[in-house]
Amino acid sequence: MALAASFKRYLPWTQTPLIINAPMSGVATSDLAVAVTRAGGLGQIGFMDNMRALSSQLETVRHELQDLMASLSDPQQLPIGVGVIVYGSPLGDWMQLFATYKPAVAWLSFASTEDLRVWTEAIRYSSPATKVWIQLGCVRDALDVAKACHPDAMVLQGSDAGGHGLAKGASIISLIPEVADALEELEIKDIPLIAAGGIVDGRGSAAALALGASGVVMGTRFLAATEARIPNVYRDAILQASDGGEATARSRIFDEIWGPNFWPQKYDGRCLRNKFYDQHMAGVPINNIRSWLSSVMNSEEEKGEAKELMGQDMGSIWAGTGVGLIKRLGNAGDFVREVREDTGKRLTRATLSL
């Protein structure tokens, strides 16, 4: 657990095991980040391509966590993480923001190894106290990034995860051990691995730690948090979903339905299944699906059908396979504490049963 303990050096308010909310774009705002951090986890704000809006969110965090920040060695550092989709993002604007707010963690994702290297070096120059975490989805990319960037942690996103990720990938149950073994062969022993994908409770968290993770990320779990910024109709769809492997699907259609898809071909996304996904799988051309969806949303005569389609069928609801385990709303802080406590119990029980 030495690598897990290393987090305490720059995340001193956190408790073990380290629980992190995924930086979900548009969903994980200052409300969620503050609640998770106050509960002893690492709260994160999701990617925003509007620097003014993101600055406003960070100002809110600075105001609401003043007491916690006063206890840190650097009282100007924000005790949260910030998610960055590197692909297509302006480096200079982000570096100015990091230099101003000094978040504890910068979570980088979706870029080539070379771009990630450039961003890592720029962050370490602009905000030396900010630690760089990089999200990856396969062994090859993990090894390349470890050698080129030597990040402060690598977030290994398994195929069960909701939202965007590698179209071809493994679940964390094999991804984490294989990356750990590959790093050991290279004698790289100081990069903690963080598990993401399919974890929604203490059972998943305990399993991830047993696999070799030093911390766990939950995204779908926090969609049911009162602090998450998500429409009620979407949240209702999350709570009603069951059989997560059937209720969700990975596909590029969830982006393509709204127009040209800017994501590189290697990426797709996991969403709640909906009618336009089912039509796509049945062979209906994308333009026909777009025309149908547009007519349903805009036609006065078809308002009745539109009402029936409200929720997951009228939008892309990013969610992982763990969605079937989510049955109730709650506060984010309670979720963090419950998962942390249950993780400890599960690990203790497993140890005693040996």
Is residue 150 within 8 A of residue 191, CB to CB? The reply is: yes
Q: Is residue 320 part of a domain?
A: no
Residue 305 has pLDDT above 60, yes or no: no
- The mean pLDDT value for 263-281 works out to 94
Instruction: Output phi, psi for 45, to 5 deg.
Output: -100, 135
Comparing C-alpha atoms, which of 240, 218, 243, 208 is closest to residue 329?
A: 240
86 in the same domain as 148: yes
Q: What tens digit of pLDDT does each residue of 80-92 get?
A: 999 999 999 999 9
187 in the same domain as 330: yes
Q: What tens digit of pLDDT does each residue of 197-239 get?
A: 999 999 999 999 999 999 999 999 999 999 999 999 999 999 9
| Average pLDDT of the chain to the nearest whole number | 94
Q: What tens digit of pLDDT does each residue of 10-20 get?
A: 999 999 999 99
pLDDT band, residue 295 (cuts 50/70/90)? confident
- The mean pLDDT value for 58-67 works out to 98
Considering only CA atoms, give the Rg of the chain: 20
Residue 304's pLDDT is 52
Q: Is residue 345 part of a domain?
A: yes
Q: Is 157 helix (H, G, I), strand (E, B) or coil?
A: strand
Q: Is residue 7 part of a domain?
A: yes
Residue 293's pLDDT is 81
Q: Is 299 helix (H, G, I), strand (E, B) or coil?
A: coil
Q: What tens digit of pLDDT does each residue of 310-349 get?
A: 566 777 899 999 999 999 999 999 999 999 999 999 999 9
Residue 259's pLDDT is 85
Q: Is residue 115 part of a domain?
A: yes
Residue 11's pLDDT is 97
Q: Is residue 236 part of a domain?
A: no
Residue 299 has pLDDT above 70, yes or no: no
What percentage of residues in the chain have a pLDDT greater than 70? Answer: 95
158 in the same domain as 276: no
250 in the same domain as 122: no
Number of structural domains found in the chain: 2
120 in the same domain as 144: yes
Q: Give the C-alpha separation, 171 to 179, whole Å.
A: 12
Q: What is the distance of C-alpha 53 from the center of its chain? A: 20
CATH number at residue 346: 3.20.20.70
Q: Give the C-alpha separation, 107 to 136, whole Å.
A: 11
- State the amino acid at position 47 in one-letter form: F
- The mean pLDDT value for 269-297 works out to 90
Residue 300 has pLDDT above 60, yes or no: no
Q: Is residue 304 part of a domain?
A: yes
Q: Is residue 321 part of a domain?
A: no
Alpha helix (H) residue ranges in the chain: 2-10, 30-38, 51-64, 66-70, 91-101, 113-126, 139-149, 172-185, 202-211, 232-240, 244-247, 253-256, 275-281, 286-298, 303-309, 332-352
Q: What string of H, E and C letters represents the secondary structure of 30-46?
A: HHHHHHHHHCCCECEEC
Comparing C-alpha atoms, which of 137, 62, 58, 144 is closest to residue 94?
A: 58
296 in the same domain as 203: no
272 in the same domain as 180: no
Least confident residue range of 47-61, 161-175, 274-288? 274-288
Comparing C-alpha atoms, which of 65, 58, 19, 60 is closest to residue 38?
A: 65
pLDDT band, residue 302 (cuts 50/70/90)? low
Residue 277 has pLDDT above 70, yes or no: yes
55 in the same domain as 30: yes
pLDDT band, residue 75 (cuts 50/70/90)? very high
347 in the same domain as 306: no
Q: Is residue 16 part of a domain?
A: yes
Q: What tens digit of pLDDT does each residue of 95-139 get?
A: 999 999 999 999 999 999 999 999 999 999 999 999 999 999 999
Residue 163's pLDDT is 97
Residue 2's pLDDT is 66
335 in the same domain as 306: no
Question: Which pTM value belongs to this model?
Answer: 0.95
42 in the same domain as 126: yes
Task: Quote the domain boundaries for residue 122.
Answer: 2-231+326-352
335 in the same domain as 277: no
pLDDT band, residue 140 (cuts 50/70/90)? very high
